[in-house]
Amino acid sequence: MSESLSSSRSIIKYSHHEFIEQEDEIAIEFPLTIFINNEEFATMVCSPCDFEEMVIGFLASEGVIRFKKEIKDMTIDKNRGFAYIHLHSKEVKNQQLFSKRFIGSCCGKSRQFYFQNDVTTAKTSMINMSIKATQCINLMKLMQESSHVFKDTGGVHNAALCTADELIVSRSDIGRHNALDKLYGYSLLNGIPVKDKILVFSGRISSEILTKAAKIGVGIVLSKSAPTNLAIELAHDLNITAVGFIRGQSFNIYSHPERIVLDS
C-alpha cells in the first residue's frame, strides 16, 4: 500500500476485557481545490492519489467536459492541494448551474443541485449484453482482493471497471463518488469504451451513485451493499441492471434482470 494513502497512529484497542496500545493504519483525508480557467470551481475531499483521473472524471460527470481533448492543460499542486485546469473554451458549459461548493468525503450534495445537470449528462443504457451469475460473484471477489488500502485501513470505498471475465482497473477513495470519478477519468485518459463494461462497487447504490454510473455510461452495476428505492427507480428508467448484496454465493437483482443469466 502506498504510504501516502494512510498514516500510522498510536491507538488504544479494547479486546477481551483489557486495553492494548498498538499502531493502526488510518486512511488520509485530503482536500483538493479545483480551479477552472483561473476561477475556483469546487473543493473535493479525497484520498491523495490518482488526482488527474479523478478531476477529469469529475468534470466529465458534471458536464463541464465530454472529452479529455477539451482540456488545454492541467497542473496538480499536491503540496498546496490545488488543481489548475484551463479549457480550450473560455466559458464553462452551463456555468449558471454551478456555484462554488465544497464536496466532502461523504459526498453530501443537495438533491436539487445533483439533478440539475444530470438531465444532460446521465445516459440511458443501450447495451445488449449479459453476464453469468457466477461471473457477478467472481467480479466482486476480484474487486475486493484488489484493494490493499481497504484491507489495511477499512476506511475507503472500492470500485472497479470490468468486463464479464476480468477486472480492467480498480480504484479506492474515502469518497465513494471520487472512486467512480477515478474510473471515469481513467477510461477517458486511456480511450477505453465503457458502454459494454461493468461497474463493480463496494458501497450502497444510492440515487447519486446510480446516476454517476449512468454518466459514465455503463449498463450493469454490481454492489456488495443495498440499493435505495430511488436508485432502483432510476435504474429502471435508465435501463441499467442494478445488482446488490453480492455476498458469498448469492445476490439480489433489482432492475432489468434479463442481463443476468444462469450458467449453462
Query: Residue 228 gets which letter from DSSP?
Result: P
Distance (Å, rounded) from C-alpha 193 to C-alpha 166? 15
Query: Residue 154 gets which letter from DSSP?
Result: S
Residue type, 106: C
Answer yes or no: are the C-beta atoms of 184 and 204 closer than 8 Å: no
* Catalytic annotation, pick one of 46, 49, 106, 107: 107
Range list of β-strands (E), the chain: 6-15, 18-27, 30-36, 39-46, 71-77, 82-87, 101-103, 131-132, 157-162, 167-173, 198-201, 220-223, 241-247, 250-253, 260-261
Answer yes or no: are the C-beta atoms of 171 and 183 closer than 8 Å: yes
107 counts as catalytic = yes
> Hey, what's the cell of 169?
482497473
Distance (Å, rounded) from C-alpha 27 to C-alpha 156? 7
List active site positions.
107
